[in-house]
Amino acid sequence: MLKLTAISHDYGQGTVLADISLDLAPGRVLALTGPSGCGKSTLLHMAAGLVTPGAGHVSNTFRRTACVFQEPRLLPWRTARENIAFGLKALGVRGAERRSRSEALARRLGLEDALAKYPHQLSGGMRQRVALGRALAVEPDLLLLDEPFGALDAGRRAELQEMLLSLLRERGLAALLVTHDLAEAERLGDELVVLSGAPGRVLERRATQKRL
């Protein structure tokens, strides 16, 4: 369970988030949307433990959480295979196992021909797949997705949404998806939370069309 309780936050230039409470149960996908500057990414960074809220409380009882950011954030000096395996390396998984696990995942993501390439040799869509692979490699039960397809064109975007949807289903993952694209929120989320402009407040919370 991920629980954000009565979160308020201030970066020093006015309030970004005002009294927000959210919860996310295992296996559920919560899409978080709202105008830019409403603090939705800040909320996700709080869930990831990268930002400490000014007020309120974050509790995350998921076994393992992994993040995918808007930019792929790949290590330019490592191949796609090594990038996918980065989280496993951080966990202390041995080389041979890292290799076999990242290769299996790469096949699932359609990256088998890209394994030996460096990030600058890959297209934007491929790089974002590698980033997704890196997150899935550590076998999380919660995925935090911060506008993961925001930088891609419409075609790639639809392709990757489809792939993410089937991966979430087949692995029974919970996910918090931050997006400014309402169609994406409806398509991927079980539930939708709409935040207001700054300071961000919860305007509505409802089930998406995906479940209806």
Partner 1 sequence: MGGIRHGTAHGTGQGAARRTWQKLWPGAVGLLGFFALWQVGALTTDPIILPSPGATAKALVRLAADGRVAGAALATALHTLGGFGLAAAAGGLFGLAAGLSATVRRMLAPVVTIVQGVPQIAWIVLALLWFGPSSAATPIFTVAVGVLPVIFAAVVSGISTAERPLIEMARTYQTPKALLLTDIYLPHLISYLFPAVTAGLGIGWKVAVMAELMAGADRGVGAGLARARTNLEVADAFAWIAIIVVMMFGLEYLVLHPLRRWLEPWRAGEGEGGRRRAEADRD
Q: What whole-number distance in Å separates Cα of residue 196 and Cα of residue 202?
A: 6
Structure tokens belonging to residue 46: 């709080």
* Closer of 18 and 58 to partner 1 (Cβ): 58
* Closer of 12 and 76 to partner 1 (Cβ): 76
Q: Check binding of 197 to partner 1 (CB under 8 A).
A: no
Q: Check binding of 71 to partner 1 (CB under 8 A).
A: yes
* SS3 state of residue 74: coil
Q: What whole-number distance in Å separates Cα of residue 43 and Cα of residue 84?
A: 26
- What residues from 174 to 193 belong to the interface with partner 1 (CB under 8 A)? none
Q: Check binding of 3 to partner 1 (CB under 8 A).
A: no
CB 140 within 8 A of CB 68: no
Give the CA angle between residues 64, 70, 74 to the nearest 5°: 75
* Closer of 90 and 212 to partner 1 (Cβ): 90
Q: Check binding of 76 to partner 1 (CB under 8 A).
A: yes
H helix or E strand, kind and range, residue 65: strand 65-68
Of the candidate residues 42, 65, 102, 161, the single one contacting partner 1 (CB under 8 A): 65
Identify which range of 52-60, 69-77, 96-104, 188-196 contacts partner 1 by CB under 8 A. Answer: 69-77
* Closer of 150 and 210 to partner 1 (Cβ): 150
101-106's contacts with Cβ under 8 Å and 24+ in sequence apart are: 101/137, 102/133, 102/137, 105/133, 105/136, 105/137, 106/80, 106/81, 106/133
Task: Identify any residues that bridge with 24 across adjacent strands, giving them in sequence order.
Answer: 2
- What residues from 88 to 147 belong to the interface with partner 1 (CB under 8 A)? 89-92, 110-111, 113-114, 118, 120-126, 138
Q: What whole-number distance in Å separates Cα of residue 158 and Cα of residue 53?
A: 33
Q: Check binding of 49 to partner 1 (CB under 8 A).
A: yes
For the CB of residue 170, give the shortest distance to partner 1 in the complex, in Å. Answer: 20
Q: Check binding of 35 to partner 1 (CB under 8 A).
A: no
Q: Check binding of 87 to partner 1 (CB under 8 A).
A: yes
Residues at the interface with partner 1 (CB under 8 A) = 48-50, 65-67, 69, 71, 73, 75-79, 86-87, 89-92, 110-111, 113-114, 118, 120-126, 138, 159
